[in-house]
Amino acid sequence: MKNIWIIANWKSNKNIAEALEWISLVGPKLPRKDNLPAGRQGLKVVVCPTFSVIEEVKKAIQVGNFPLMVGSQDLSPFDEGAYTGEEAAAILNDLVELSILGHSERRQNFGESDEMVERKTAQAIAANIIPLVCVQGQDIPIPSECNLVAYEPIFAIGTGNPDTPENAESVAKKIKEKVGQEIEILYGGSVNSENCKKFLEQEDISGFLIGKASLDGEEFVKIIDCANSLI
């Protein structure tokens, strides 16, 4: 049985009040693992807020005891030390279990290179943070220690024009063949509650990285309910 990851990438959205409102809406509606029979516990839900909101989100999840992991949208390629403005993995790991690395918005707007993504991946692993490496196509290099990849074609991001489930499946299969190791592939790009089922039915797609539709708690819960009905 495959895991299904449903990961909210809030990008540069939601202040603390808005984030807490989202948590109080979504948290109680998440399927509770202890209510699920053995063998049906493969649903992993993650929220990735901005750095300044992570701590409050984490506290709210702990208080509510919600089955929700917290991730960051980036981390530093450097160790702790004299790197002004950077968030070192060794500091961040008090707060997050996963980090999105190499998102196309970082590659395009901040000049993030494949080599930098590789360094960030190594930092994440050394700090026990799961690296979720984003690739925009099957030819983008995947760091060797990485077991979780999101295929996010640029034409599909924020456009309302998703890839087809069949093409996403074909890319996922090719990435798996190329990497030749146990790896889980997620799809991202204009995912919503209407189109999510067809992607999840694909053999090699193990969930989603969701931007816009994750900002609306009700919409996000619908996607989770869809995933939960399939595992």
Contact pick of 171, 183, 210, 227 for ligand 13P (by CB under 6 A): 210
Q: Determine whether 87 is an active site residue.
A: no
14 binds ligand 13P (CB under 6 A): no
Contact present, 204 and 169 (Cβ < 8 Å): yes
Q: Considering the complex, state which of residue 152 and residue 177 has its C-beta at the smaller distance from ligand 13P.
A: 152
The one catalytic residue in 103, 105, 112, 184 is 103
Spell out, one character per residue from 104 to 143, where the chain touches ligand 13P: x when CB under 6 A holds, - when not: ----------------------------------------
Number of residues that bind ligand 13P (CB under 6 A): 14
Minimum CB distance to ligand 13P, residue 36 (Å): 27
- Active site residue: 112, 118, 152, 169, which one? 152
User: What residues numbered 52-71 form the site for ligand 13P, per CB under 6 A?
Assistant: none
Q: Is residue 103 annotated as a catalytic residue, yes or no? A: yes
Contact yes or no for 54/16 (Cβ under 8 A)? no
Nearer to ligand 13P, 43 or 100 (CB): 100
Considering only the stretches 20-28, 35-43, 194-202, 207-215, report the one whose residues sit in contact with ligand 13P under the rule CB under 6 A: 207-215
Site of interaction with ligand 13P (CB under 6 A): 9, 103, 152, 157-158, 188-191, 209-213
